[in-house]
Amino acid sequence: MNHEPLRWGILSTGHISQKFARALQLAEGAELYAVASRTQEKAEAFAAAHGVTKAYGSYEAMAADPAVDVIYIGTPHVFHLENAVMCMRAGKAVLCEKALTINAREAEEMIRVAREEGVFLMEAMIPRHVPLIRRMMQWLQEGRIGEVRMIRAARCLRRDFADDARQVKRELGGGSLLDLGVYPISFASMVMGGSEPEETMGTAYIGRWGTDEQGAALLRYAGGVIADVSFALRTETVNDAYIFGTEGYIHLEKIFAVPEKITLYDKEQKVVEVIEEKIKGEGLYYEALEVMRCLRAGLTESPYMPLDESLQIMRTMDRIRQPWGLTYPGEKA
């Protein structure tokens, strides 16, 4: 096994890229080597703030640096495809923020390029790598709640977004489904072993930004398992998740995507087991470790967030969104 540190490049200097830089400082075996921005000034300011060796004033220049092993993409959803393809064509491994793309057609294209180039690609879906969620998956595999029958999960927040914020702007792939709904939908998919829902139905409120301010969906899987998911940009809710089985249920809190407490109940609603553990590096730390574990093992995708499953999740979100009449750049109205 190669014990040299892996040299990371961070593509873009926004909100999540800054958090990722802080998380990388905690990750053993990682070197935060480069950052790229659309402007040299921003790249240099970011490099100074986070102790990064190289600052590039264009994304392409960083991808062309042979010293970079792996690139983290933290741009708005509409740019993920273009940015990831450019990095992978330069031979780089890529960790791309969620949602992987704006739709399944783009996700298919991104995955095709990864396979063509033989490079590593993973959607940055934090919950897949959080220790308590891995523990919860073990409970399910051990049959601790019997057969799974229902799933309930929410990822909702209330913030006063500016009209040009990437979270709300249609041109940047804004809206609650792509930004937050992807978490509970991906969670349900993980619990269901990556299988695709047989039926989906959803509703949304398209607010003053022309994108979905909030929404909810029901997903029905083979065998009748039903997931009830909600997502919102202007409504704060409790943000936990439940998995109900024939012999008991599991509660994840709070926020379910980065849980610090999981509780196993029996069917009489008595507590059977509780596990608590603090989240490290806002959760981003765990996905960075998983990327490095995969790269050192010579894998081109992670078994915890397989590419075909990321594609299936994009297809599911396309199906949920289709009746709303909400389209993103490059899609037919």
Ligand X SMILES: NC(=O)c1ccc[n+]([C@@H]2O[C@H](COP(=O)([O-])OP(=O)(O)OC[C@H]3O[C@@H](n4cnc5c(N)ncnc54)[C@H](OP(=O)(O)O)[C@@H]3O)[C@@H](O)[C@H]2O)c1
| Residue 37 is a binding residue for ligand X (CB under 6 A) | yes
Residue number with CB closer to ligand X (47 or 151): 47
Stretch that binds ligand X, among 68-76, 144-152, 224-232, 305-313 (CB under 6 A): 68-76
| Residue 42 is a binding residue for ligand X (CB under 6 A) | yes
Residues 293 to 332 in contact with ligand X, rule: CB under 6 A: none
Shortest spacing between CB 332 and ligand X, in angstroms: 22
Residue number with CB closer to ligand X (144 or 169): 169
Torsion angle of the four alpha carbons 215, 239, 101, 301, in this order, in degrees rounded to the nearest 10: -150
| Residue 32 is a binding residue for ligand X (CB under 6 A) | no
Q: Which of 25, 26, 38, 134 binds ligand X (CB under 6 A)?
A: 38
Q: Which of 152, 166, 315, 321 binds ligand X (CB under 6 A)?
A: 166
| Residue 76 is a binding residue for ligand X (CB under 6 A) | yes
| Residue 74 is a binding residue for ligand X (CB under 6 A) | yes
95 touches 291 (CB < 8 A)? yes
| Residue 124 is a binding residue for ligand X (CB under 6 A) | yes
| Residue 152 is a binding residue for ligand X (CB under 6 A) | no
Provide the token pair at 150: 């229902």
Shortest spacing between CB 318 and ligand X, in angstroms: 17
Query: Total binding residues for ligand X by CB under 6 A?
Result: 20
Count CB-CB contacts under 10 A for residue 330: 11
| Residue 159 is a binding residue for ligand X (CB under 6 A) | no
| Residue 79 is a binding residue for ligand X (CB under 6 A) | yes
Provide the token pair at 51: 């102790």
User: CA geometry: angle at 12 spanning 42 and 103, to 5°?
Assistant: 150
User: Cβ-closest residue to ligand X?
Assistant: 14
263 touches 273 (CB < 8 A)? yes
Helix (H, G, I), strand (E, B) or coil at 306: coil
Task: Give the distance, in angstroms, between the CA of residue 141 and the centroid of all CA atoms in the same chain.
Answer: 23
Provide the token pair at 269: 């609603």
| Residue 97 is a binding residue for ligand X (CB under 6 A) | yes
C-alpha 274/C-alpha 314 separation (Å) is 33
Between the CA of residue 187 and those of 9, 119, 151, 275, what are the distances in Å?
Answer: 28, 26, 9, 19
Comparing CA positions, the residue from 125, 230, 215, 233 lying closest to residue 169 is 233
Q: Which of 6, 8, 9, 13 binds ligand X (CB under 6 A)?
A: 13
Provide the token pair at 293: 């574990």
Interface contacts to ligand X, rule CB under 6 A: 12-16, 37-38, 42, 74-77, 79, 97-98, 124, 126, 166, 172, 179
